[in-house]
Structure 1
């Protein structure tokens, strides 16, 4: 529409200029019609001025249209992404964190681990003379291992449960990114995809931590059984 309008304006300008030139050549310098003096030179000058004015108006219209297009593009670039998955991601992170906080017996805490190991995994807990206490410590170590294995399975189940939500978020964000109308929307979609990746890495870290905890406690229990067996054997030989 814009091109058609400019073409018509240029044709009108050319026609007006041609008419003015033709009038200046064909008509006499002055003519009188019904008492009105007709000056072709003055008429042609007026036509040229009108043509120039029309051309200036066309140029101004073009500038306004360009400015409007630029403003529309800027508005698109500043438009926010209409979808957000951040609340879902935060909920999944909180769920995984809660699973870790619910760890049974020996928590993910340095002081808690140190206290548990001092009480039933080394030292007097393995070599003492109190038979009943040694049996209690052995049972406690077994419960530590079983609880840690259960915790690892729960964390892994939670991580697997988050996969469906992650898949839905990826589909939503990729679709929003591909249909983004401006730079801001594309950037926001990319940032949310990065947040989703961070959440998945956090889930993976939690699963590995839970599994490592279970393996470490089971290995510690096996080492404690071996140490306790040696202590029992030494006492047995001493009595003989």
Structure 2
């Protein structure tokens, strides 16, 4: 009897579920006296995840900005070595050697005056003693110019050791450069060394050219002096 009654109740419940209105599942449940809302809970988890992602993105941006600032700081660091003083000293030495030139030196006024006195027409119109004195002065000009050229050459040769040291210092510094400014400054100093070498070469060419021109002028003046002496000799006879 009990089994038959239970079966009847179960059948009635199934029939009622099949024919009766659908009832929505509860949106919340009470567990241990606390109301739990699954939809609210899921929404909170999604919000927390999005907030965490935004925080991570902000941290990455700050890291990128810090890296950029470090790179800019490296790019603004100055090169720790400089060879400017050594280069200026070498240039000053070469200029000093050029300024020691005697006789007809590197001055337009002195050149004009010297040639008027010893190499041109009026230099051959004086007395025999004056002709001899002018010839002697021209010889001294030529010998002095060759001596000056050799001094300049010797000075530039002595500069080569310092130039080699400067190049080694700058190349070593450029290889360990940490930023764009250091690399640019190293390049500028290497260009300065090259400019100094070009200046030395110009000084050598100037000294050699001076010596050659004075020697050529001496030869031309000697020829003119010989003609004048021969003319006077014939006239005296």
Give deviations 1:100-144, integer Å, cap 9, x for gaps.
11111222111111111111112232243x121111111111111
Q: Structure 1, unaligned stretches of length 5 or more?
A: 1-27
Q: Distance in 2 between matches of 1:239 and 1:43?
A: 136
SS of residue matched to 1:204: helix
1:208 corresponds in structure 2 to: 205
Matches within 5 A, 1:1-240: 29-128=27-126, 130-240=127-237
> Shift in Å at residue 169 of structure 1?
1.6
> Shift in Å at residue 165 of structure 1?
1.4
TM-score, scaled relative to structure 1:
0.82
Q: Which structure 1 residue ranges, 4+ long, deviate > 6 Å from structure 2? A: none
Please give the root-mean-square deviation of Cα atoms over the aligned residues, in Å: 1.7
Give deviations 1:64-123, integer Å, cap 9, x for gaps.
111111111111222212211112111111111111111112221111111111111122
Q: Distance in 2 between matches of 1:227 and 1:106?
A: 20
Q: Distance in 2 between matches of 1:118 and 1:101?
A: 22
- Number of aligned pairs? 212
Q: Which moved more, 1:56-65 or 1:86-95?
A: 86-95
Q: Distance in 2 between matches of 1:35 and 1:235?
A: 145
TM-score, scaled relative to structure 2:
0.83
> Shift in Å at residue 29 of structure 1?
4.6
2:22 corresponds in structure 1 to: none
Q: Distance in 2 between matches of 1:220 and 1:206?
A: 21
Give deviations 1:4-50, integer Å, cap 9, x for gaps.
xxxxxxxxxxxxxxxxxxxxxxxx85443432233333222222222
